[in-house]
Amino acid sequence: MKYWYFTSINKWFTIKLPENWSEYEDEEGTAAFFNTVKWSGNLRITPLRIGDAEIDKTPASVSSINNDNSNAIIIKLGDWDAAFYKKESSDVCTTFYWTMGTTNFWFVCSFTIDIDFLNTEINAEELIVVEEILGSIKILN
């Protein structure tokens, strides 16, 4: 499979995307993507700079998300530890969430799908792709 690299507009991070994924405009600061061959959902990555770079708040934050959401589990995405959970957004959508970070960066990531895709082979395959994309996040500065 061929890939391309996306660099966030603020030059905070880069990710590796399959060639058939494209960026689209979303809210300011959020990078948003979708599969251009067969729509399977919308991926959003929102990077946040957090507090004092001398204090690593990330492990406590991931643990807090896990404790605050009974569906959350801690998973490994590349070199990242991430809290993962899903939430039905409405009668028509379900959203999968991943949160992860380092000393001074925090990423809130979501993948929203049509509820009809939930628990299908398409959804299972795309979740693997999405987690590979998220695992490829590299902080630039």
Going from N- to C-terminal start, the domains of the chain cover: 3-139
Q: Which one has a higher pLDDT value, 45 or 88?
A: 45
**Cα dihedral 4→96→91→66 (10° resolution):** -160
Q: Using 50, 70 and 90 to split pLDDT, how confident is the model at 8?
A: very high
- Across the chain, mean pLDDT equals 87
Question: Which contacts of 73-82 are long-range, i.e. CB under 8 A and separated by 24 or more positions?
Answer: 75/131, 77/131, 77/134, 77/135, 78/134, 78/135, 78/136, 78/137, 79/135, 80/134, 80/135, 80/137, 82/134
* CB neighbour list of residue 112: distance below 8 Å, 6 or more residues apart: 41, 42, 44, 89, 93, 94, 95, 96
CA angle 128, 129, 135 (to 5 degrees): 90
pLDDT at 116: 87
Alpha helices in 19-120 (DSSP H): 58-68
pLDDT at 58: 64
57 pLDDT more than 80: no
Cβ neighbours around 64 below 10 Å, total: 14
Please state whether the predicted TM-score (pTM) of the whole model is above 0.85.
Answer: yes
Percentage of the chain modeled with pLDDT above 70: 87
Assigned fold of 3-139? Protein Transport Mog1p; Chain A (3.40.1000)
Q: Which one has a higher pLDDT value, 87 or 128?
A: 128
pLDDT at 2: 94
> What does the alpha-carbon distance between residue 92 and residue 32 come to, in Å, rounded to a whole number?
20
Q: Which one has a higher pLDDT value, 66 or 111?
A: 111
The whole-number average pLDDT for the span 32-40 is 92
